[in-house]
Amino acid sequence: MDTRSSSHKISSGQILLVGAVTCALLSPFLGKAFHIDDTLFLKAAVQIRHTPWDFYGFPVNWYGWEMPMSEVNQNPPLVAYLIAGISALIGSNEVSLHIAFMGVAVAATLGAWRLARLFCGNTLAAALLLAVSPAFLVTSTNLMTDTTMLAFFLWGLACWMDGLNSGGWLACLLSVLFISLATLTKYFGIMALPLLGMLTIARGKRFDLRLLLLLLPLGTLFGFDYYTKILYGHGLFSSAAAYSSALKNERAPVDYWQKLCSGLSFTGGCQIFYLFYAPFLYPRRQLLLVGGVGMALVASLVLASGEIGSVPIYVSGSIRWPQLIQFTLFIFAGAAILVQSLSDCLLRRDSESLFLCCWIAGTFIFTTFVNWSTNARTVLPMVPAVAMVVVRQFEFHRTGRTLADSSSPPLWPLLPCAILSLMVAWADMTFANSQREAARLIMDIYGKGRGTVWFQGHWGFQYYMEQAGARPIDFNTTRIQSGDVLVVPENNTNTREPLPGMFQRLSEITLKSFPFLATMDSVSLGAGFYSDVWGALPFSFGETLPENYFIYSFVPH
């Protein structure tokens, strides 16, 4: 039997399966409304189609007053260029763009599959764990930078390791190209450089000339920063770093215990597959003892603190048991993931386990203590590494240190993981779609009047209101006239209560939310998938509140 031919068939089959599963998971969300920061990238894409060299050279109202886009969105613009190209070819509606970005998601899961071949025996399980994680599935139903960055990031790592294994330069050159593209998508991409530098030195025990290639992505980043400084008067990368620091300084003094709990909660919740696979990683008695004691300790600490982030554990003297249970599970899972990555490093004592441990720890530190807020999007780059650690630990305990003839972890736990992630993604889509539907209903009723329809709030709601002809209110300059109406969404960002005596409530539009699960609900459930400012749970089960939109008329004096 030709083993090379058999291996090629297995690889081809796995590639097709990973791609098919990714597409199947994302297919229900092709009609999802544009959501959260999608609006900013869609606006930049329109600008790029007219003046591609000046991608952020236009004003935008995002915080309640008009500002230069270069001050509002300091992310690099590669995704906006991608959206501009897709829009020119197949249109800019939701379905067209989501189909195109589905290809990006497939590239990310295949990148995880390719990289996993160098770290563990069962590459299929590692890739599918990424695909069914809530962080990946929900993020990949949007148009923001994160999945695109992850795809470039993973292929950059895989190509560099191929170069190390073969001793060649071509794969390493391809790697720095991917890392440069990842960095021009989202600045986190530059984190690949210290990881690859450490791995290269750990493997060779000496300086390798190919390390000089890693200076190229750094040059790309600083060149981009210099170009934007010439273009807009400030470097976008420099400003992004300063923004995060300034925003944290504006807030109350940092409570590092609360930040740690929030970071662990997002780490565990966004990679909930770890809880499904824990029974296969530990002996049953050990799991019951350590798990029981660990979760009891976590629950006690949460109760003692009284709240996690902005989410109180006590309301009117009573314990909010659903939130306490979810916090306990997520925080325990997050802590166990960090311990598991360290355990893999200590057990194997090789450069690959050190690489994965540093990857996970570095991402955790960034998302918890460095970034302006903890959110699922910043946890996402950690997910492929955690998936590989789970598979590696299963193989280690079943077969020892070698990867040859490794015992494969069972795939059936992927099903409940996928069902849970699909529910989270559906809840997020329900929230996004409610903003599109609210904009349609509001403009059908009030858009044909003699006055102007003004609105507060941003995210996808802003996109659809502006598309229908409404105008965002500027708290500094807008002068509302008789006959104008003002729309204020209840669950949105950068909104203010209208001044009493100047506005009279005309009506209220109420839309149903997902019935028992939320990704962004600061009032009742403490869910903050996109920012822990909303809540320290990436998603939360419980009784959800409807999405309310209040319409006011101006009362002239």
Contacts of 493 (CB under 8 A, 6+ apart): 457, 458, 459
3-state secondary structure of 232: helix
pLDDT tens figures, 515-538: 999 999 877 788 999 999 898 999
Instruction: Tell me the mean pLDDT in the region 34-44.
Output: 96
Per-domain residue ranges for the chain?
Answer: 16-251, 255-411, 426-554
Q: Is the pLDDT of residue 243 over 70?
A: no
Residue 117 carries which DSSP code?
T
Count of residues in the chain: 557
Report pLDDT for 407: 59
Q: Is the pLDDT of residue 449 over 70?
A: yes
Higher pLDDT, 372 or 407: 372
3-state secondary structure of 547: strand
CA distance 448 to 504: 20
Residue 497 carries which DSSP code?
P
Report pLDDT for 471: 95
C-alpha atoms less than 13 angstroms from C-alpha of 186 in its C-beta half-sphere: 20
pLDDT tens figures, 121-147: 888 999 999 999 999 999 999 999 999
Query: For all residues of the chain together, what is the average pLDDT?
Result: 89
Q: Is the pLDDT of residue 251 over 70?
A: no
Q: Strand pairing of 540-541 and 517-518?
A: antiparallel
Predicted model pTM:
0.93
CA distance 553 to 557: 13
3-state secondary structure of 417: helix
CA distance 495 to 487: 10
